[in-house]
Amino acid sequence: MLILGVHPGFHDGCAALYDDYRLVAAVALERMTRVKIDGGRIPAEAIAEVLAIGGVKAGDVDALVLGRGAFPMRYYRHLPLGRRLARAADRVLGRERVKSMERECVRYGRADSEAMLDAPALLADLGLRPGIPVRFFNHHLAHALPCLFHTDWNEALLYTADGGGDNVQYSIRTFRDGALATGFGGDEELARPSRIDSIGLAYGYATEALGFRINRHEGKLTGLAAYGAPEIAPALAAHFAVAEDGMIGTDFADYRAMRDFVFAWAEGRKREVVAASVQRVLEDVVLAAMRRLLARAGVRRLGLSGGVFANVRLNQRLAEELPVEEVFVYPAMSDQGLAAGGVLQFLLERDGLGRWLGQRARLETLYLGRDYTGAVDRDFAARGFARLPGEPVATAARLIHEGAIVAIYTAGMEYGPRALGARSILARPTEAAINDTLNKRLDRSEFMPFAPVLREEDAEIVFNLPAASRYAARFMTITCGVRPEWARRIPAVVHVDGTARPQLVARRHNPLYYDIIGGYAALSGIPVLINTSFNVHEEPIINSPAECARALIDRRVDYVVTTEAVWAPG
């Protein structure tokens, strides 16, 4: 059964294609349109891409699974007469408004989204077969389910937190004794008053207050936080409380009041102090909630998803300070992961928990975009780029050892916000000055740390990485301490607070990547490389050979290595 998942989010639109339980392809809209966090409409380009990757046509799809995001007004069936007349007037004027299905549900106190949607019209417009099932997924359940599906746990707390979705900002689910129980965050919340409780939005407002963009630049505050002291954290923390049942609450009347407070709180303060303070409040509030929830649930495994858990420093504290055996952060933790998670909800409802659990598998890779292996080399040859002599691994390792900046382009583009060796930039980590060089060439902020990549068998040599964090570290979703003797040798990937955000690589996942790391280690005695995403500031990670070629022409990198060759500008 071919199942198409689509999230028409107002940011991070995305699509995913499953062949029953096998995830065939998953693509964020931004990677196709080259517009960062693109959304606000049905992600047609992402839909077309996942179908093309799967080698199928729209008419082959057997079910459509949707997020409660942005839909043109023509697809809504529940509108009262006055709104139907306004819709008709807009169409006469040649315009059409887009409305959020979530907000429509809240407005009318409904959760039956399928009944509110003109499914036949949508299917026809997408070229899908008439009459196939059309289902909506729950925003936070779609965040949570991949945390369970991609583990082998027999018990767990599944916790999600973000700026909001389906009228809540958190969800709590417990898996134990073969049953999955929802404590908070189901569809029933669509018909209830909205809670003013989002620590994620408070962090977002602080991002705005410092002149950055909400839902886009929160990572800058995480980087800045290490440079400041949390001097003003108590004033913000005083507005948040964690109840005995683990629920987070605030005393703000509404989100406008929260935003106004955060802006006034940050005004006139150094950005490092604001960042450190909001980071401290985030960590302390979430940690307190997790302690109470884990104690109540009586479990020792923790699955995390939602935009809040893009915060790698928070994830480190959770893994190291809570009584857990393993923490798994779903790598596509932002709304980019919802299309895939939504299909997992569809499969759960179709088959029941017992069969669904039997199909689980740990994540191996996230190379779920189009694989341009071979095609990129033909493209580069046609452009007249220079193909360097020698075997690609040895040549790339030597160039990096000599100080060159080398991009790796292999396999399919990664799903989610991290570059994990398919679309990465590699450099030696032995001089801190490389950070300035890379940041200037990529137009990035000077305070953002670069991440290290190393072979998984070398992890304990270099890092203080607890067992609870190892799975998450395969996907660069958690920080850890760097051993002092190594911190001095790899300063380019050690943040000012003595931590790093490593990626652990197994050869079976990406032989080219793994072997380049090994080749560099043989030359230098250093088992670590810099890995940073293959993109410039304010652009999505590259996808196509043409985008890769442009980066080489613009001298963003010195060389590109593929499975077939190392290339230089002509």
Which tokens belong to 429?
Answer: 């980590």
Looking at residue 95, its amino acid is R
Distance separating alpha carbons of residues 498 and 476, to the nearest angstrom: 16
pLDDT of residue 187: 97
Q: Check: CB of residue 387 under 8 Å from CB of residue 560.
A: no
Residue 266 pLDDT exceeds 90: yes
pLDDT of residue 449: 72
Question: First vs last Cα of the chain: how many Å apart?
Answer: 47
Q: In this structure, what are the phi and psi dihedrals at residue 141, rounded to the nearest 5 degrees?
A: -65, -35
Query: Would you place residue 37 in the very low, low, confident or very high pLDDT band (cuts 50, 70, 90)?
Result: very high
Which tokens belong to 193?
Answer: 């008053």
* SS3 (DSSP) at 387: strand
Distance separating alpha carbons of residues 561 and 392, to the nearest angstrom: 7
Residue 103 pLDDT exceeds 90: yes
pLDDT tens digits, residue range 155-170? 999 999 999 999 999 9
Nearest residue to 50 via CA among 30, 90, 23, 76: 23
Q: Check: CB of residue 485 under 8 Å from CB of residue 520.
A: no
Distance separating alpha carbons of residues 424 and 216, to the nearest angstrom: 20
What's the average model confidence in pLDDT over 202-229? 95
What's the average model confidence in pLDDT over 172-193? 97
pLDDT of residue 62: 98
pLDDT tens digits, residue range 350-395? 999 999 999 999 999 999 999 999 999 999 999 999 999 999 999 9
Residue 446 pLDDT exceeds 70: no
Distance separating alpha carbons of residues 278 and 205, to the nearest angstrom: 10
Which tokens belong to 198?
Answer: 């989002």
Report the percentage of the chain scoring pLDDT > 90: 97
Q: How many alpha carbons lie under 13 Å from residue 377 in its C-beta half-sphere?
A: 13
Distance separating alpha carbons of residues 330 and 343, to the nearest angstrom: 15
pLDDT of residue 537: 87
Which domains, from first to last, does the chain contain?
A: 2-136 (3.30.420.40), 150-330 (3.30.420.40), 367-568 (3.90.870.20)
Q: In sequence order, which residues have a C-beta less than 8 Å from that of residue 125 and are 6 or more positions away?
A: none
Query: Which pairing describes strands 326-329 and 301-305: parallel, antiparallel, or unpaired?
Result: parallel
DSSP letter at 117 equals B
Residue 445 pLDDT exceeds 80: no
Query: Would you place residue 453 in the very low, low, confident or very high pLDDT band (cuts 50, 70, 90)?
Result: very high
Q: In this structure, what are the phi and psi dihedrals at residue 318, rounded to the nearest 5 degrees?
A: -65, -45
Mean pLDDT, the chain, integer = 97
Nearest residue to 422 via CA among 341, 339, 511: 511
Which tokens belong to 41?
Answer: 């409409």
Distance separating alpha carbons of residues 422 and 365, to the nearest angstrom: 10
Distance separating alpha carbons of residues 258 and 503, to the nearest angstrom: 36
> What is the total residue count of the chain?
570
pLDDT of residue 336: 96
Q: Check: CB of residue 321 under 8 Å from CB of residue 199.
A: no
Strands (E), 263-411: 301-305, 326-329, 367-371, 386-387, 406-409
- Residue 331, Cα to own-chain centre: how many angstroms? 6
Q: In angstroms, what CA-CA distances link 273 with 210, 268, 286, 312, 497? A: 11, 10, 20, 19, 15
Nearest residue to 302 via CA among 277, 280, 320: 320
What's the average model confidence in pLDDT over 311-322? 98
Distance separating alpha carbons of residues 404 and 559, to the nearest angstrom: 8
Q: What Rg do the C-alpha atoms of the chain give, in angstroms?
A: 24
Angle between helices 199-209 and 218-225 (to 10 degrees): 80
pLDDT tens digits, residue range 517-546? 999 999 999 999 999 999 998 899 999 999
Q: What pTM was computed for the model?
A: 0.97
pLDDT of residue 448: 67
Report the percentage of the chain scoring pLDDT > 70: 99
* SS3 (DSSP) at 287: helix
Phi-psi region of 374 (alpha: psi -120 to 50; beta: other; left: phi over 0): left
What's the average model confidence in pLDDT over 55-72? 98
